[in-house]
Copies of this chain bind each other. A is one copy, B any other.
Amino acid sequence: MKYIKIPPATIYRLSRYSRKLSLLSREGLEVVSSEKLAAECGVNSAQLRKDLAYFGEFGVRGVGYYTGHLLQHIKNILGLEKEWRLGLFGVGNLGQALLHYPNFINQGYRFVAAFDVDSGKIGQTLGSGLEISDMKDITEVVSREPFEIGVITTPAGGAQQVVELAIEAGVKGILNFAPVILRVPGDVVVEYVDFTLRLDSLSYYLSNR
């Protein structure tokens, strides 16, 4: 299905709702009010209802939401009913931490390949059982072990080149931790995780109050 013009902030909030619903559902809660769900996700209930209204009518008046039912709907919207496979580019400290990050696998994201350019690392087998491949073998690795999303943890200087190789090999989604803006074709989606941007924002708010 194709939804149009959904604000990116709505997508992020859907992700938060699904995570909270999943927790409530595991705790055995079958019904939740929009007020409670919203409060636990740090938004107000009008925002929650507006976000959900882009996709249909999920609440039951006077009752609230059936947790399992709403969770399933949001997972369908976000495309989370399948497992997504990840390839890691850059096996440094941050890359290794991400390979072991428990929330990825808990939420349906699994690393199936890891690449580096350092000949001292290539061929090593990581704790998770993944062997570090040479960046230049990417096409071969992807054909053997396909993945949809590339996670970039190279230094800033190397990121653009690595992303171009990944895209050539068929990767369509990029989660970029390198502190640099990437140039990609229109059919490739990039999400940025930039720690220092967030720290600069803290610096701003702590300085100006």
Question: Measuring CB to CB, which residues of chain A are less than 8 angstroms from any residue of chain B?
Answer: 1-3, 8, 11-12, 14-16, 18-19, 40-42, 77-80, 84, 92-94, 96-98, 100-104, 107, 109, 148-149, 155-156, 172-175, 179, 181, 187, 189, 191-193, 195-209
Contacts and interface: CB of A to CB of B under 8 A. Distances in A.
Contacts of A102: 155
A93 B97 contact: yes
B104 A206 contact: no
Contact of A94 (B1, B101, B198, B207): B101
A137 B196 CA distance: 28
Contacts of A149: 199, 202, 206
Contact of A181 (B41, B197, B201, B205): B41
Contact of A201 (B11, B103, B203): B11
How many copies of this chain are found per oligomer? 2
B173 A198 contact: no
B179 A11 contact: no
B93 A200 contact: no
A15 B93 contact: no
A155 B106 CA distance: 13
A186 to B, nearest CB: 10
A175 B198 contact: yes
A156 B107 CA distance: 14
B101 A197 contact: no
Given A172-B206, A175-B198, A207-B78, A93 B84 contact: no
Given A42-B181, A84-B203, A97-B93, A196 B15 contact: yes
